[in-house]
Amino acid sequence: MRRLLVATTNPGKQAELRRLLAPLGAEIVVPDEVGLDLDVPEPHDTYVDNATVKATAYADASGLPSIADDSGIEVAALDWGPGVRSARWGGADKVTSLLEALPAGSDRRARMVCVIALAIPGAVAGTAVETFTGTVEGTVAEARRGDGGFGYDPVFLLPQGVTTAELSEADKDALSHRGRAVAAALPRLRAVLSDA
């Protein structure tokens, strides 16, 4: 069976990406399933650069087509940050830190952004990389709501009036930034895996 490596060790992302990639009918594997334990720095200032460096590192190490994502929340009151720093922003409890950074009257407009990088090993000039972006607009809720998802999901409030943590997995996959990025990537992934 054709194999695609999901280049993340985050259990929440692994589960979500396995669901989103299921329509491919491929074997979706994660790093520990192929014996990889890489420490890939993400020092860059753009989602594209961070996702690209991760996907490339894993594709080069595994010899498999690999996807990696970089994603974040961007909040108007924080000058559209923390953005690419979202995973490391705010300490151990990022959600509480975000709520505390937004006192009453703050501009709570926000968006979630995800860039998926697809790295294809064996291209003529090394590893070829393509990127796909998904964005969803919303606001930051005033308190945590819901027990689904991970990361900032409990406080990312959609225009429909629910946080992404209050959605079913299927509804979240259809609406989320990561779901939209994977949907954009699926036609290319099908083509790549059909050639594998």
CA distance 163 to 176: 11
Among the listed residues 45, 60, 70, 171, the single catalytic one is 70
Helices 177-195, 11-21: inter-axial angle, 10-degree rounding: 60
Cis geometry, peptide bond prior to residue 11 (ω within 30 degrees of 0): no
CATH number reported for the structural domain that contains residue 29 in this entry: 3.90.950.10
Catalytic annotation present for 93: no
CA distance 95 to 125: 42
Q: What pLDDT is recorded for position 195?
A: 74
Which amino acid, 42?
Answer: E
Specify the number of domains making up the chain: 1
Neighbours of 8 (CB within 10 A): 19
Query: Which residue's entry shows tokens 């790093």?
Result: 31
Paired residues of 136 in beta bridges = 112
Average pLDDT for runs of 10 along the chain of length 196: 91 94 95 94 92 95 95 97 93 93 95 97 75 98 94 96 96 95 96 82
Q: What pLDDT is recorded for position 1?
A: 61
Can you read off the two tokens belonging to residue 116?
């998926």
Domain range for 56: 3-195
157 and 141 Cβ atoms separated by less than 8 Å: yes
